[in-house]
């Protein structure tokens, strides 16, 4: 499966500029608002992402149990956010998605009203109490993101990245990360993400250390999402804008 890279127009540093998307490897398929996946492709990606995040304590807490189905529904919502406001970059093995990343480009923010619009579907899927818990945590995450935005300026936001458990340590993660990092340096912007390390008890295997290899560093002291139940500090990470050389 392969679809050619498209152009994207985004607002950046007060100007409208047209740039090619990051220089993805030919094996990477990029979906967006103008190049949408089929319903079957969306479902395949959501199912794989649910499997990849199955051990995440935070995702289990949001979904209300340890089953994959609730996490899959959360991943469907994440994919639709990426397709509406950014890029969904993926690698595939025939019809099986091996890795998925969701990026929101500089100059674009997923608006609060869009998150609020998810409430009815979340209530149907998870119940009112659980849906309110998820929205409350999203508001906390958004507050830290806004604070980072004021510090680092325009940035690309990695909403999520996950590799199929059966395809890990094969370079898929780097194939989806490195082109965007290089692109950020090319256009002169920062990058931001939140690292979900809640499914790994061994600190040596935490994702935050993998992100450091791409120039990210911890921002603040962590985000207290679902603090009462999980007592977790969910790390935010920033990659400041690099000086551009003429």
Lowest mean pLDDT among 39-48, 149-158, 217-226: 217-226
The top-scoring range by mean pLDDT among 3-7, 54-58, 171-175 is: 171-175
Greater pLDDT, 15 or 135? 135
pLDDT, position 2: 44
Mean of per-residue pLDDT scores for the chain? 82
Coil, strand, or helix at residue 157? strand
Coil, strand, or helix at residue 69? helix
Of the pLDDT bands very low, low, confident and very high (cuts 50, 70, 90), residue 5 is very low
CB of 91 within 8 A of CB of 172?
yes
User: Measured between alpha carbons, how far is 55 from 243 in angstroms, rounded to an integer?
Assistant: 38
Lowest mean pLDDT among 55-59, 143-147, 187-191, 196-200: 196-200
Q: Residue with structure tokens 């969910």?
A: 234
With the C-alpha atoms ordered 178, 183, 188, 194, is the resulting torsion angle positive or negative? negative
Mean per-residue pLDDT, 164-182: 93
User: Measured between alpha carbons, how far is 126 from 64 in angstroms, rounded to an integer?
Assistant: 7
Greater pLDDT, 196 or 183? 183
Of the pLDDT bands very low, low, confident and very high (cuts 50, 70, 90), residue 59 is confident
User: Measured between alpha carbons, how far is 50 from 160 in angstroms, rounded to an integer?
Assistant: 12
CA torsion, ordered 31, 32, 33, 38, to nearest 10 deg: 10
pLDDT beyond 50 at 1: no
What 8-state DSSP symbol labels residue 204? G
pLDDT, position 138: 83
pLDDT beyond 90 at 221: no
Q: Residue with structure tokens 């990092």?
A: 181
Beta strand 190-194 pairing with 155-163: parallel
The predicted-structure confidence for 117-164, as pLDDT tens digits, reads as follows 878 888 888 888 888 888 888 888 888 889 899 999 999 999 999 999
């Amino acid at each position: 499966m392969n679809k050619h890279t498209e152009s994207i127009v985004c607002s950046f540093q007060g100007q409208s500029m047209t740039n090619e998307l990051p220089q993805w490897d030919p094996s990477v398929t990029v979906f967006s608002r103008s190049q949408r996946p089929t319903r079957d492709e969306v479902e395949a990606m959501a199912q794989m992402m649910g499997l990849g995040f199955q051990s995440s304590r935070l995702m289990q807490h949001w979904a209300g149990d340890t089953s994959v189905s609730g996490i899959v529904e959360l991943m469907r919502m994440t994919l639709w956010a990426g397709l509406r406001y950014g890029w969904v970059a993926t690698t595939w093995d025939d019809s099986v998605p091996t890795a998925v990343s969701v990026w929101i480009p500089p100059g674009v923010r997923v608006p609060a009203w869009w998150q609020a619009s998810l409430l009815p579907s979340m209530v149907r899927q998870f119940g009112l109490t659980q849906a309110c818990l998820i929205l409350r945590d999203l508001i906390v995450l958004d507050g830290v993101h806004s604070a980072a935005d004021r510090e680092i300026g325009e940035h690309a936001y990695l909403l999520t990245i996950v590799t199929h458990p059966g395809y890990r340590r094969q370079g898929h993660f780097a194939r989806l990360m490195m082109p965007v990092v290089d692109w950020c340096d090319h256009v002169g912007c920062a990058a931001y993400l939140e690292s979900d390390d809640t499914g790994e008890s061994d600190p040596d295997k935490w994702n935050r250390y993998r992100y450091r290899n791409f120039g990210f560093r911890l921002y603040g002291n962590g985000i207290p999402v679902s603090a009462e139940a999980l007592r977790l500090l969910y790390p935010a990470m920033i990659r400041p804008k690099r000086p551009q050389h003429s």
